[in-house]
Chain A
């Protein structure tokens, strides 16, 4: 059982994440169509096909660069509202991990907290607005708790995934207050947020690296 995330494990998780996201194109479009214009899956498909190519063709070993490059690739692949937000997540992660050769729970806690803060600042969303923040914020809280409880890496990731999933499930009953969905107001209740869903996929892919 791994107690640190090495470069190769992070690289694998991002490749897996890219795969999962591109495979989910139709599903994400469908989810987005409930409250938006149904192109979220397509935007993510384009972005992560490029991320996949970029990662596969790179021969680096730098963790910070892995995340930064992923963020840059997303940013230049697609605009819309999804592009900047997911790009920000990876770009901030990259900034937080400068000089790190492997990641432990404190690194994950810092990286995701910094990403969350920057995303909130960039997009203006907060917990309860029915966005990816509703899955990301609980996972950040979970990492902080794992730090205090000094849990293993595996348990920390398992708990973060759980928290993200719960946050995601919770978006169903929320009234959208951001993006195009907010113009639906109460009519946005009863639908799950596609951005939050993608966050749960990210944590699934990270957890996959350590769960055996």
Chain B
């Protein structure tokens, strides 16, 4: 199923990407010379996550495993070989046991084969572990910010250490909080990823149905937005005067109308808190099949991060041009 999905994807965007092997997609012009290569990936089933962002200004290659399952080392090495132009490779992926182990094995192999590489794991989900155990947190929609920043930095010709530092800064300054109303169905088993009542909401649930932090009765969009914003702001914490970029992310079956309504309230609340929103993205970035729900991600900006966020890029799922 994953293989067919990737094939269909590359057919749709053949002007931007090419199929390297059944689980690997790369920029059409990979390897791009004199630039650090950014290789991203994880389980499929979260599209447009990872493969959607392959192209100029973002990822050089993406590797996808089966639905909700980490890719295997040989696939990651395919991506590495295709993307690497000799300036080193930065691996960016979500912090999950399977991804961590498979990418580690591939990275060791790459090193053994003379490919300099570094890794940045994304752990923005505030619900998955307390702030003092941040490295146990799962990766959610901030994957987008980290990949955008890494990609932008790489395009400037920065070296591997510099690209890694930028990506880490993006990761360290991002926080996400999610809520779900209806579960996803795992295609291979036909089973829902979690159970929830008709009129219930589940805060903190993970992108593969990992247990959340709190179930409530159905709340209004405004009440929901308030809980998500508050959770994210308190965790970093974000402060009066901070400038941020925001993602209001849909998990698959939530309509744009609902996301826009959430966004409206989020803007109001952040303004009240004295924060400036530089850019907002609303839509499906990290989905979970047909899960109903959304997440709010905030990244605190400094000059460099802002520049990276604003930098032009051209990928199937995200384009930013200088006009």
| A interface list, Cβ under 8 A from B | 29, 33, 37-39, 42-43, 75-81, 83-85, 122-123, 178-180, 183-184, 187
> Is B72 a contact partner of A77 (Cβ separation < 8 A)?
yes
> In the complex, what residues of A have CB within 8 A of residue B75's CB?
79
> In the complex, what residues of B have CB within 8 A of residue A80's CB?
65-66, 69-70, 98
> Is B97 a contact partner of A81 (Cβ separation < 8 A)?
yes
> Is B72 a contact partner of A75 (Cβ separation < 8 A)?
yes
> Is A38 a contact partner of B191 (Cβ separation < 8 A)?
yes
> Is B66 a contact partner of A79 (Cβ separation < 8 A)?
yes
CB-CB under 8 A for A38 and B211, given A43-B69, A79-B98, A84-B101? no
CB-CB under 8 A for A39 and B97, given A75-B105, A76-B74? no
Q: How far is the CA of A129 from the CA of B119 in the complex (A)?
A: 26
> Is B101 a contact partner of A122 (Cβ separation < 8 A)?
yes
- Beyond known contacts A79-B98, A81-B96, A84-B104: 4 more, CB 8 A cutoff: A39-B66, A78-B69, A78-B72, A180-B208
> Is A76 a contact partner of B73 (Cβ separation < 8 A)?
yes
**Residue B193 CB within 8 A of the other chain:** yes
**Residue B113 CB within 8 A of the other chain:** no
B199-217 vs A, CB cutoff 8 Å, 1 = contact: the mask equals 0000000101111000000
- Majority SS at the chain A contact face: helix
> Is A180 a contact partner of B102 (Cβ separation < 8 A)?
no
> Is B101 a contact partner of A37 (Cβ separation < 8 A)?
no
> In the complex, what residues of A have CB within 8 A of residue B209's CB?
37
| B interface list, Cβ under 8 A from A | 65-66, 68-75, 96-98, 101-102, 104-105, 128, 186, 188-189, 191, 193, 206, 208-211
> Is A39 a contact partner of B189 (Cβ separation < 8 A)?
yes
B63 CB, min distance to chain A CBs, angstroms:
9
Q: How far is the CA of A43 from the CA of B70 in the complex (A)?
A: 11
A79 CB, min distance to chain B CBs, angstroms:
4
> In the complex, what residues of A have CB within 8 A of residue B71's CB?
79
Contact of B97 among A75, A180, A187 (CB under 8 A): A180
Contact of B188 among A42, A85, A123 (CB under 8 A): A42
- The residue among A85, A178, A183 with the most chain B CB atoms within 10 A of its own CB is A183
